[in-house]
Amino acid sequence: MSATNLPWGRIELVEGDITKQEVDAIVNAANTSLLGGGGVDGAIHRAAGPGLLAECRPLGGCDVGSAKITGGHNLPAKHVIHTVGPVYHGGDKGEPDLLAGCYRTAMQLADENGCRSIAFSAISCGVYGYPMADAARLAMTVVAEELAKRPKIEVARFVLFGRDALQVFTDVYRDLAASRS
Ligand code: AR6
């Protein structure tokens, strides 16, 4: 799909901690067990409290490229959407399709659950090793396409951990948004 006319203005980029976001849903970069881990997953479970793990346990895990939704428990966000990004093995093992599936499924779940705002972490960009600029281009393109189809979701925010990550996303965003006619 061409970037022409996609709603880039409904995408926000901020530097910060996703556990602090006051949005309808935050998106966790989980693993297939959905039982917690390190990185942003660990931070979300710590901030949400033990009720989140208790709600995740009966979900039976989650496939790579898909997502499941829970409540936000002690977080300011109403919901947590847990998605499982691909481990990066060079980019020719289906990683782009799987990462796109994470963002598409998360947007679909947000819409189905009446979310008007959603905040994403940089899925797969930590220990799973996805190159951040490639992930940023794919993530923002898919999210812009989904926003175009889902008018009830007013804003999608990418919450980047650290200045370097924010800079990468900002550079890619400018490039994508500038390709509008
Ligand atoms: N807020 C926003 N972003 C964060 C935060 C935070 N509080 N903490 C880290 N990040 P990662 P992955 C950034 O490794 O690569 C877990 O153990 C981080 O700097 O959390 O998808 C899971 O259980 C990076 O840019 O997720 C899985 O086993 C991004 O979040 C595995 O890691 C994602 O880094 C998933 O690996």
For the stretch 66-85, pLDDT in tens is: 999 999 999 999 999 999 99
CA distance 28 to 50: 16
Reduce the DSSP state of residue 118 to 3 states and report it.
Answer: strand
For the stretch 115-124, pLDDT in tens is: 999 999 999 9
Q: Which percentage of the chain shows pLDDT scores above 70?
A: 97
Pocket of ligand 1 contains residue 96 by CB under 6 Å = no
Ligand 1 atom 9: residue of nearest CA:
40
Which one from 17, 24, 41, 175 is the annotated catalytic residue? 41
DSSP structural state of residue 38 = S
Q: What's the gap in Å between 38 CA and the centre of ligand 1?
A: 7
Q: What's the gap in Å between 134 CA and the centre of ligand 1?
A: 16
- Strands of the sheet containing 11-15, edge to edge, are 11-15, 155-160, 117-120, 25-29, 79-83, 67-71
- Each domain of the chain, given as residue ranges in start order, spans 17-178
Single-letter amino acid code for the residue at 48: A
Domain 17-178: top CATH class = alpha beta
Q: Is 111 a catalytic site residue?
A: no
Please identify which residue in the block is written with the tokens 């819409």.
Answer: 111
Pocket of ligand 1 contains residue 99 by CB under 6 Å = no
